[in-house]
């Protein structure tokens, strides 16, 4: 995998449409590709993570908005779902690193939620993509109804065994469960909950940034078609033709100078000049105050001539100076992001602020 970039793969689809099955297939495929890539390039293997409601021990009842299903300790009908999404989000963010690939298996049916995940991936400079598992509503409903019937049958069987005093410790039942039974143990949705989730499902749109690139697998796709889609996903997120990911400009620190960014320098230099004026002005007021062109330089040796503040006839107090300083900062905040263009160094900011003060002191008389 070139460039050692982490990757986030978001799986979405209708409830009981086969998302977990596709997630396990994708996990196995990526494990194979990572293993072969590491052997060819003699690099340490990447870590692969499969995150889902099951791995976070989140029951499917958290998506039920029915008032009758609301537990006594839950503050609102959708509070449990919000808490579940917060747990999923924290789990994803925790494992994102330059050596990790994250497969997020879940409903992911809200476009705002997918956008939040997209922003987190972009902020971390990592590629992301969406895999939609397509399935007809009637087929998905039939799968859920079958799981509901199987769950009811298991409950009845368990109640009968408990009534007859049969111990569940022998026979090796857990070790001999089929794959279908293991899948059913993920739990069905209550019928009303399932219908509500289908009604609220927001289809991914490949025209939007957060849903692209978008890949689709349908229920009928065989192993060959599935592998072909997985190959395209690998090329998009880990291949040579992968596009570089750039975070939003608003989240990037604009100035990498150890002295701080523009706004910090603006605040620091103006505060220093105010402090120097208060320390050096005479008790009678008036006169001039010499301000070094560089903060904390002591005197002007090696820094050029001092800046001169011409004070008015009366003594200047802190409230007046702070009022001028806030006005100056407000007018010059527009320089954020233009440090390299305008060469707005600390010395120039100090010179500009001193000139601003002199103009206002002259007006004050």
Q: Is residue 166 part of a domain?
A: no
List phi, psi (to 5°) of 172.
65, 35
Q: Is residue 247 part of a domain?
A: no
Domain check: are 55 and 195 in the same one? yes
- 169 pLDDT higher than 60: no
Residue 188 · residue 151 · CB < 8 Å: yes
Domain check: are 91 and 221 in the same one? yes
List phi, psi (to 5°) of 290.
-85, 130
Domain check: are 78 and 208 in the same one? yes
* Number of domains making up the chain: 2
E strand or H helix at 349: helix 346-364
Domain check: are 144 and 292 in the same one? no
List phi, psi (to 5°) of 21.
-65, -45
Q: Which residue do the tokens 């990592």 mark? A: 126
3-state helix, strand, coil in the chain (%, to 5): 55, 10, 35
**What pLDDT, in 10s, does the model give residues 86-142?**
999 999 999 887 678 999 998 899 999 999 999 888 888 888 899 999 999 999 999
Calpha distance 45→301 (Å, rounded): 58
**What pLDDT, in 10s, does the model give residues 249-304?**
555 544 444 455 778 888 888 999 999 999 888 888 788 888 988 776 554 444 56
Domain check: are 153 and 296 in the same one? no
Domain limits for position 356: 260-364
Calpha distance 332→287 (Å, rounded): 28
Domain check: are 211 and 360 in the same one? no
DSSP reduced 3-state for 78 = coil
Six token digits for residue 153: 């049958």
Among 160, 193, 154, 156, smallest CA distance to 65 is for 193
Residue 44 neighbours by CB distance under 10 Å = 9
């Amino acid at each position: 995998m070139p460039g050692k970039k982490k990757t986030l793969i978001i799986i979405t689809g209708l409830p009981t449409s086969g998302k977990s099955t596709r997630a396990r297939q994708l996990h196995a495929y990526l494990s194979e590709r990572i293993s072969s890539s590491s052997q060819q390039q003699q690099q340490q293997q990447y870590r692969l993570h499969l995150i889902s409601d099951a791995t976070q021990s989140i029951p499917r009842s958290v998506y039920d908005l029915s008032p009758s299903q609301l537990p006594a300790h839950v503050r609102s009908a959708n509070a449990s779902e919000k808490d579940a999404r917060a747990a999923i989000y924290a789990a994803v963010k925790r494992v994102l690193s330059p050596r990790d690939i994250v497969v997020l298996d879940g409903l992911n049916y809200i476009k705002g939620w997918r956008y939040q995940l997209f922003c987190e991936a972009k902020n971390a400079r990592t590629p992301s993509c969406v895999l939609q598992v397509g399935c007809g509503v009637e087929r998905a409903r039939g799968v859920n109804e079958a799981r509901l019937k199987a769950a009811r049958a298991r409950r009845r069987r368990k109640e009968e065994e408990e009534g007859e005093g049969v111990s569940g410790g022998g026979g090796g039942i857990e070790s001999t469960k089929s794959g279908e039974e293991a899948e059913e143990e993920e739990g069905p949705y209550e019928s009303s909950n399932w219908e509500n989730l289908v009604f609220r499902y927001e289809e991914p749109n490949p025209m939007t940034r957060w849903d692209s690139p978008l890949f689709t697998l349908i229920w009928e796709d065989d192993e060959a078609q599935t592998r072909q889609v997985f190959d395209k996903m690998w090329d998009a997120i880990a291949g040579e033709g992968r596009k570089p990911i750039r975070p939003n400009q608003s989240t990037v620190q604009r100035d990498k100078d150890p002295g701080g960014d523009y706004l910090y320098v603006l605040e620091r230099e103006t505060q220093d000049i105010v402090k120097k004026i208060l320390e050096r002005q005479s008790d009678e007021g008036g006169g001039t105050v010499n301000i070094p062109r560089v903060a904390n330089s002591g005197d002007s040796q090696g820094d050029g001539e001092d800046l001169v503040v011409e004070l008015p006839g009366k003594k200047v107090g802190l409230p007046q100076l702070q009022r001028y300083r806030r006005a100056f900062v407000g007018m010059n905040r527009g320089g954020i992001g233009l440090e390299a263009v305008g060469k707005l160094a600390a010395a120039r900011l100090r010179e500009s602020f001193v000139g601003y003060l002199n103009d206002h002191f002259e007006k004050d008389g």
